[in-house]
């Protein structure tokens, strides 16, 4: 098919936001202390945990916004979504680095619980009870994979309008399910690491991406791009984070965070190039954002929580461990990831070119996007 658009074009500001997200995660894991005998140490651990949670939530918002934007671009340019192409790109982006990390864990003789390796390899780790430190971070990767599996299919087969309605209904159901589940269900894995508890973290961002390609885009961009809105969003996020730190209303705090982060993301994207926000498009942050997936995978090997007994010791260990993480992540990216990513894009383009006539659902999706 002539003119097939490769929907993998980067949005530079999002790489800067990825860098911020991974920095929050690494700060979190670098300062989780083993000694919790004092109130100060318990407070450090709690704050560190919240920083990591905020970083992961930002990753979710970025994923929801970016994936939806790229899928909508594909509909507009090609008249359909090639699910085969999408899944090929995602598979070659996500699986090779993840499996390399797991293979290194096995070859290094890291003690893993029964079923832990399987749950990580097949991305249901967030519904698995026994996880060592070295695969705990696969809970968020599992959640993202679950989103990647169903949301593109919803857009393709339902069309943009019906998928938007489905997203709104799913957000509403999640808002009701989360507080009830927190109060009544006690499963042997963290509640807020379950996909069914966090779908709104992706879908609010997905809805924002849809609105920004609708007739309401000019008004929305004007609001999000205003300085007052950015100040209001940052103040709101700080307030919500403070409430969360106090341990109050986790369901409401998670909801507000899931709502505010996409709006803040959109505000920063539209402010890119302006004073104060050019840092998001700076070369160092964009580069760090490009290798952020490798950083996220490998930081778990080096920034091993519960090893430092004090803040001072954690501070001494932090820089060498971060440098080691960067070293392995850089090697992974330049020796393997970018080649796997390019190969996945090539297969995706072939899938689009040889995919034949789009099914009726794809035609409806294209019409709904107009």
Chain-wide mean pLDDT for the chain? Answer: 87
* 8-state DSSP, 358: P
Residues in the chain: 370
* Confidence grade of residue 78 (pLDDT, cut at 50, 70, 90): confident
Q: Name the CA dihedral angle for 208, 211, 152, 348, rounded to a multiple of 10 degrees.
A: -100
Is the per-residue pLDDT at 357 higher than 80?
no
Taking residues 219-234, report their average pLDDT: 87
The answer to the question of residue 252 being in a domain is no
Query: Alpha-carbon distance 42 to 60, whole Å?
Result: 27
Residue 124 and residue 179 in contact, taking contact as beta carbons nearer than 8 Å: no
Q: Is residue 262 part of a domain?
A: no
Reported confidence tier of residue 105, pLDDT bands at 50, 70, 90: very high
Model pLDDT for residues 35-59, shown as the tens digit of each residue:
888 888 888 888 888 899 999 999 9
* 3-state SS, one letter per residue, for 273-337: CCCCCHHHHCHHHHHHHHCHHHHHHHHHHHCCCCCECCHHHHHHHHHHHHHHHHHHHHHHHHHHH
pLDDT surpassing 50 at residue 295 = yes
pLDDT range class, residue 225, cuts 50, 70, 90: confident
Q: Is residue 244 part of a domain?
A: no
Q: Domain of 157?
A: 12-218+278-369
Is residue 305 scored above 80 in pLDDT? Answer: yes
Query: Above 90 in pLDDT, residue 62?
Result: yes
Which pLDDT score is estimated for 369?
A: 39
Question: Is position 342 within any domain?
Answer: yes
Identify the weakest region by mean pLDDT among 178-192, 299-313, 322-336, 353-367.
Answer: 353-367
Phi–psi pair at 37, nearest 5 degrees: -80, -15
Residue 305 vs residue 322, higher pLDDT: 322
212 domain residue, yes or no:
yes
Residue 366 reports pLDDT greater than 50: no
Q: Is residue 269 part of a domain?
A: no
Q: Residue 125 falls within a domain, yes or no?
A: yes
Distance in angstroms (rounded) separating the CA atoms of residues 306 and 153: 41
* pLDDT greater at residue 363 or residue 298: 298
**CA-based nearest residue to 210, from 6, 69, 370, 79:** 69
Per-residue pLDDT averaged across 13-32, rounded? 93
Segment 364-367 long-range contacts (CB within 8 Å, at least 24 positions apart)? 364/159, 365/75, 365/80, 365/81, 365/155, 365/156, 365/157, 365/158, 365/159, 365/160, 366/75, 366/79, 366/80, 367/159
Q: Could you tell me the pLDDT band of residue 363, with boundaries at 50, 70 and 90?
A: very low
Tell me the pLDDT band of 275, cut-offs 50, 70 and 90: low
Segment 60-82 mean pLDDT: 93
- Cα 121 to chain centroid distance, Å, stands at 18
Percent with pLDDT over 90 in the chain: 61
Residue 232 lies in a domain: no
Per the structure, how many domains does the chain have? 1
Least-confidence region, from 64-73, 261-270, 292-301, 332-341: 261-270
pLDDT of res. 281: 81
The end-to-end CA distance of the chain, in Å, is 21
More confident residue, 197 or 243: 197
């Amino acid at each position: 098919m002539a003119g097939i658009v490769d929907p993998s074009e980067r949005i530079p500001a999002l790489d800067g936001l990825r860098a911020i997200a991974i920095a929050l995660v690494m700060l979190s894991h670098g300062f989780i202390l083993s000694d919790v005998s004092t109130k100060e140490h318990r407070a450090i651990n709690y704050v560190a945990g919240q920083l990591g949670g905020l970083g992961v939530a930002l990753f979710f918002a970025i994923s929801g916004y970016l994936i939806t934007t790229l899928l909508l671009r594909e509909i507009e340019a090609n008249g359909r979504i090639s699910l085969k192409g999408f899944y090929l790109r995602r598979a070659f982006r996500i699986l090779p680095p993840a499996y390399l990390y797991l293979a290194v864990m096995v070859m290094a003789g890291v003690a893993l619980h029964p079923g832990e390796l399987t749950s990580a390899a097949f991305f249901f780790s967030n519904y698995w009870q026994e996880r060592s430190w070295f695969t705990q971070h696969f809970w968020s990767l599992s959640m993202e994979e679950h989103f990647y599996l169903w949301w593109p299919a919803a857009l393709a087969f339902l069309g943009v309008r019906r998928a938007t309605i489905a997203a709104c209904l799913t957000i509403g159901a999640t808002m009701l399910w989360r507080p009830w589940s927190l109060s009544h269900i006690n499963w042997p894995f963290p509640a807020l690491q379950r996909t069914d508890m966090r779908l709104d973290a992706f879908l609010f961002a997905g809805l924002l991406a849809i609105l920004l390609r609708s007739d309401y885009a000019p008004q929305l961009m004007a609001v999000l791009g205003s300085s007052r809105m950015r100040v209001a969003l940052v103040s709101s996020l700080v307030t919500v984070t403070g409430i969360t730190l106090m341990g109050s209303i986790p369901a409401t705090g998670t909801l507000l965070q899931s709502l505010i982060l996409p709006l803040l993301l959109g505000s920063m994207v539209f402010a890119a190039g302006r004073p104060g926000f050019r840092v998001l498009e700076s070369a160092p942050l964009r580069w760090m954002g490009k290798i952020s997936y490798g950083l996220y995978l490998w930081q778990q090997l080096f920034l091993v929580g519960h090893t430092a007994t004090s803040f001072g010791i954690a501070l001494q260990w932090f820089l060498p461990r971060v440098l080691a993480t960067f070293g392995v992540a850089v090697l992974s990216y330049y020796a393997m990831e970018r080649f796997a990513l390019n190969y996945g894009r090539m297969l995706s383009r072939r899938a689009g070119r040889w995919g034949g006539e789009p099914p009726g659902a794809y035609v409806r999706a294209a019409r709904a996007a107009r």
